[in-house]
Amino acid sequence: MERRSFLKASAALSCAASLTGCKTGSDDANVTPTPPPVADESISWSACLVNCGSNCPVKVFSSDGIITRVEADNETTDEYGVNHQIRACARGRSLRQRTYAPDRLKTPMKRVGKRGEGKFVPISWDEAASTVASELQRIASEYSNKSILKLYGTGAYYGFSSSNCFNRILNLNGGFLNIYGNYSWAQQNEAAAATGFGSTSGSILLSLKDSDLFIGLG
């Protein structure tokens, strides 16, 4: 669909929704009400750790050990200069779907076919750890430790390979090759050098009201 056609269709749908919302009369009795919260829900706080430095707090509702819904931070006022709610984005709000996704891996998987074929079989954690250890030793002995590269991004900040524990293991094996720069903030670091602050950590949110120009990168 062309952009112009998409905008026309969106505008038409918005108008239709507005007209429907303005209707009154007996049809209102047929509107399905919003279902009430699940009975006997317990509330706990967690955080979105999906490879993002914000680590937004999320309110988790559960019943009988099963997550029923997830909400973002709405406990405090969201007033500029006084308090700032750190509201999770769509990724944080969808943690329930992520947790119960049908294709979520729940056990280590070992490739049994050729690379790219997508053939894997589940294995135990002991076998996975043993395989990783033997392969690290083999690669280091054949190609030196410079052939082992560790990235910090694993898709989750609570991941094992994101921790210093894994760095320790690799160093005990003779070391590893680290990354140069940053695959996520590289453009910000270069742009910040041309500003008066000189770094990405030199400014704060409260300075927005005094700014003549604000650039958001996403």
Q: What is the pLDDT of residues 91-120, one digit of tens each?
A: 899 999 989 999 988 899 999 999 999 999
Q: Which one is predicted more confidently, 16 or 175?
A: 175
**pLDDT tens-digit map of 23-32:** 444 445 555 5
SS3 115: coil
Q: How far apart are CA 105 and CA 98, in angstroms?
A: 11
- Percent of the chain residues topping a pLDDT of 70: 69
Q: How many other C-beta atoms lie within 10 A of the C-beta of residue 167?
A: 16
Which ranges constitute the DSSP H helices of 119-204? 125-143, 164-172, 186-192
- Tally the residues of the chain: 218
Predicted model pTM: 0.59
Which ranges constitute the DSSP H helices of 23-157? 90-93, 95-99, 125-143
SS3 100: coil
Residue ranges and CATH numbers for the domains of the chain are 42-99 (2.20.25), 105-143 (no CATH), 145-190 (no CATH)
Residue 31 is classified by DSSP as S
Sign of the dihedral through C-alpha 149, 153, 157, 160: negative
